Structure 1
Amino acid sequence: MQRIKQGDDVIVLVGRDKGRRGKVESILGDRVIVDGINLVKKHAKGNPQMGDPGGIQEKELSIHISNVALFNASLKKGGRIGFRTNDEDQKERFFLSDSSSVDS
């Protein structure tokens, strides 16, 4: 079970987007792509056969998973994640700072 999953609300801990929040779009090994975070401009060559116009396009690049933390809405900041088993013997994630579990 991963500490950060697709669809989680995360906060960026370091870099030029420090303090910004976003939703995890995808996980690529030890890197994550967060919606609206780490935007770069790419120059793309157009392809008229595919109907793809060229020009400058904004694209989201990946961030290392250690540079984001799961956002804790009750504390209004990023939190560390732990694992425990609930009463039905299912593994669940919870915030280490307080005992509330993460809705997965």
Structure 2
Amino acid sequence: MAAAKIKKGDSVVVLSGKDKGRTGTVQAVMPKDGKVIVEGVNVAARHRKPTQANPQGGIDRREAPMHISKVAIAGKDGKPTRVRFETKDGQKVRVAVRGGETIDG
């Protein structure tokens, strides 16, 4: 298993699909499935019948998981960048290929 290049809380840019170019923060990462959930991106609508728990019913909108290859870390200029790993002071850190700044701490 490779190290995680995208983590929860990262700011990402969508590279393809109906939400191409949109940015958002990662809410969850599913490494076994290779998917991420990004806030405000890939929103799916589910029509719900009225039930005892939800007597109103209506349309339930929530973010659906999308493949991790469809997103890239947003650099400091807002454009997508790839991620590489470097060791600084004995610590393994993520570094943006575009610009070269460290992503974590």
When normalised by structure 2's length, the TM-score is 0.87
Residue identity in the other structure for 1:66:
S
- Paired with 2:16 and 2:94, the residues of 1 have a C-alpha distance of 24
Q: CA deviation at 1:96?
A: 1.3
Does residue 102 (structure 1) correspond to residue 103 (structure 2)? The answer is: yes
Write the distance in 1 (CA, Å) between the matches of 2:55 and 2:5.
38
Please show how residues 9-28 of structure 1 align to structure 2 within 5 Å: 9-28=11-30
User: May I ask how many residue pairs the two structures share in their alignment?
Assistant: 101
Partner of 1:47: 51
The structure-2 alpha-carbon separation of the partners of 1:52 and 1:96, relative to structure 1 and needing over 3 Å to count, comes to: farther
Which runs of 5 or more structure 2 residues have no equivalent in the other structure?
A: none
Following TM superposition, where does structure 1 have runs of at least 4 consecutive aligned residues deviating by more than 4 angstroms? none
Relative to 1, partners in 2 of residues 1:53 and 1:82: Cα closer, same or farther, differing over 3 Å? same
In the alignment, what sits opposite 1:72?
75
Secondary structure at 1:46 match in 2: coil
- Whole-angstrom CA distance in 2 between matches of 1:80 and 1:70: 7
Using the size of structure 1 for normalisation, the TM-score is 0.88
CA–CA distance in structure 1, aligned partners of residues 41 and 26 of structure 2 = 10
| Higher mean C-alpha deviation, range 7-16 or range 53-62 | 53-62
Give per-residue Cα distances to partners, 1:33-62, cap 9 Å, x unaligned: 0000011211123331x3464221112111
Deviation at 1:80, TM superposition (A): 0.3
Q: Which runs of 5+ in 1 are unaligned?
A: none
2: distance between equivalents of 1:52 and 1:63? 31
RMSD across aligned positions (CA): 1.5
